[in-house]
Amino acid sequence: DSGVTQTPKHLITATGQRVTLRCSPRSGDLSVYWYQQSLDQGLQFLIQYYNGEERAKGNILERFSAQQFPDLHSELNLSSLELGDSALYFCASSAGTLRNNEQFFGPGTRLTVL
Amino acid sequence: DQQVKQNSPSLSVQEGRISILNCDYTNSMFDYFLWYKKYPAEGPTFLISISSIKDKNEDGRFTVFLNKSAKHLSLHIVPSQPGDSAVYFCAASSALQTGANNLFFGTGTRLTVIP
């Protein structure tokens, strides 16, 4: 158990809909990352927050947005969903933003868009 | 554009033998490299890392080798055990250069250790 929790575990929805994925980081970790893993792909970095502020952005679509709340949990919002958004979405947390701050990953949320 | 590549989707090794997993990268700004291990229905877990100023780092049965000129790194597991069967992801970071410590992942290699 990494200490990072993600809800829900599975989500099935239809094209055009909007969903929210939730992540609670390990106790004390200030940095939260979101990654997307599509079929047979590596994890693709989407976005990082540090202590409530956006820290880095990857190839995140404009239809996607995220935020980190004062209690440090984070939410990833996906809207106008398309079939290609079906993927595993992982959240990770780390103590800080240094390269040797180990990232601990949650179990992921599997999103299926029908 | 895949900046970190793992060209072998799968590898099978006999228990007790050496497992060698390979990874190539294209971005010369990467200065920190990591290996993650992933079991089904779980998130990746950190295994071992290496800074770009080193060419080898060892932790128990796991050793990572870095060849900067070839932009290549490898993970050696010796001796391999059935519990090592998992998907292994190579990852890289350019935090020293960019200030951002997000990771770039390869597509993974599924290791099967045969008892």
Pairing type for strands B86-93 and B109-114 reads antiparallel
Cβ contacts below 8 Å, chain A against chain B, sum to 66
| Category of B46 on φ-ψ map: left (φ > 0), alpha (ψ -120 to 50) or beta | beta
Closest CA relative to residue A64, chosen from A55, A76, A74, A56: A76
pLDDT of residue B100: 77
Interface of B with A in 28-87 (CB under 8 A): 31-32, 36, 41-46, 49
A26 at the B interface (CB within 8 A)?
no
Cα torsion angle, B94, A72, A107, B84, sign: positive
Q: What is the mean pLDDT of residues A6-24?
A: 97
> Which residue is listed with tokens 């079991």?
B39
Residue A97 has pLDDT above 90, yes or no: no
pLDDT confidence tier of residue A76, bands split at 50, 70 and 90: very high
Do A42 and B99 lie within an 8 Å CB cutoff? no
Do B102 and A48 lie within an 8 Å CB cutoff? yes
Residues composing chain A: 114
In whole angstroms, give the CA distance from residue B110 to residue B96: 30
Q: What is the mean pLDDT of residues A107-111?
A: 97
Cα angle, residue B35 at apex, residues B27 and B16 outer, rounded to 5°: 135
pLDDT of residue B95: 80
Residue B37 distance to chain A (closest CA, Å) = 11
Instruction: Tell whether omega for the bond before A70 is within 30 degrees of 0, i.e. cis.
Output: no
Q: Which ranges of chain B have pLDDT less than 50? A: none
Do B101 and A94 lie within an 8 Å CB cutoff? yes
List the single residue in A40, A99, A105 with the smallest CB-CB distance to B93.
Answer: A99
In whole angstroms, give the CA distance from residue B33 to residue A76: 27
pLDDT of residue A70: 96
Write out pLDDT tens, residues A16-70: 999 999 999 999 999 999 999 998 788 999 999 999 999 999 989 999 999 999 9
In whole angstroms, give the CA distance from residue A3 to residue A67: 20
